[in-house]
Structure 1
Amino acid sequence: MARAIVYTGGCLCGNIRFKVTGPALNPHTCSCQMCRKHTGALTAAWVEFPSKAVAWTGPGGQPATYRSSEISSRAFCQKCGSTLGAIDDAPTIALLLGAFDKPAKQDLVPTGHSFRSGRPKWWCVEIKTDQT
């Protein structure tokens, strides 16, 4: 019997923690204005999961949210302010790779980049899918 894939992570202070069981979906990077403003970075690295696969396990419970669009809310720790991802109205939660305890796992490596035109021209985005 195959062992379930499990990922863990959380915020800077540990108040918000998550445990995800199941395969990573659509790992990607994005340079859209919303992602840049949400993270304070020129590019955000995301991975999506079905909402039912994500359990909020830290003492803070679920993260605080800010309604950022008609279809999604941005998630963050109400204690330390760390950004964690986006909770979509569709049954999807997108978590930022920087919040994972082990973000270098092969199945979390981004396979594409969204809104490349949103980055400054001097910002070079290169995704290496072969890690050998």
Structure 2
Amino acid sequence: MITGGCLCGTIRYEMDNPLQFARNCHCAMCRKSTGAAFATWGYVEVQNFRWVQGEEFLGHYPSSPEITRTFCEVCGSNLQFLAMRASAAAFGLALGTVDSDPGCKPMRHVMVGSKAPWFDITDHLPQSMLAAPDD
């Protein structure tokens, strides 16, 4: 079982299976929401995920018409990247909120056309200007 939660411990979650398709997103919204050069998201199947504590403290911010981001209303930790589609069977989970090994590593950098000018990508992961549709 994989567990995790926010910085202050108010919100906790668990899931049965490892995360999938982790990627580093360099879009301006991910940079601003994290305060970092990029956000690392791993994808979780909705059916394998459950809140075990503090779900009532989960804040929602619609960062665009298609995307809602969730966060802890107490400490501000980013938690989820939700695509607002009726068929969404998975969502992005902030990899930094996982307590131990999430079962995957980032497989690519996306939205690199928006990356911070002060950050250089120095690893050998593939890079794409947009989010890859197969992720």
The two structures share one fold, judged by TM-score above 0.5? yes
AA aligned to 1:98 is: G
1:95 Cα deviation (Å)? Answer: 0.8
**What is the CA deviation profile of residues 70-118 of structure 1, one whole-angstrom value per residue up to 9, with x for unaligned ones?**
222101001111111212222322111111111xx37321011101121
**What is the TM-score normalised by the length of structure 2?**
0.79
What is the number of equivalent residue pairs in this alignment? 121
Which residue does 1:117 correspond to in 2? Answer: 113
* Identity percentage of aligned residues: 34
1:124 Cα deviation (Å)? Answer: 1.9
Measured in 2, the distance between the counterparts of 1:36 and 1:74 equals 13
AA aligned to 1:112 is: R
Report whether the alignment pairs 1:101 with 2:99: yes
Q: Which runs of 4+ in 1 moved over 6 A?
A: none
CA RMSD in angstroms comes to: 1.9
Q: Relative to structure 1, is the Cα distance of residues 20 and 108 closer, same or farther in structure 2, using a 3 angstrom cutoff?
A: same
Q: Given the alignment, which residue of 50, 57, 61 partners 2:55?
A: 61
**What is the TM-score normalised by the length of structure 1?**
0.81
Which residue does 1:11 correspond to in 2? Answer: 6
Structure 2 residue matching 1:125: 3-state secondary structure: coil
Q: Where in structure 1 are there 5+ consecutive unaligned residues? A: 1-5
- Identify which range, 109-118 or 82-91, moves more after superposition: 82-91
Report whether the alignment pairs 1:70 with 2:65: yes
Q: Relative to structure 1, is the Cα distance of residues 128 and 24 closer, same or farther in structure 2, using a 3 angstrom cutoff?
A: farther
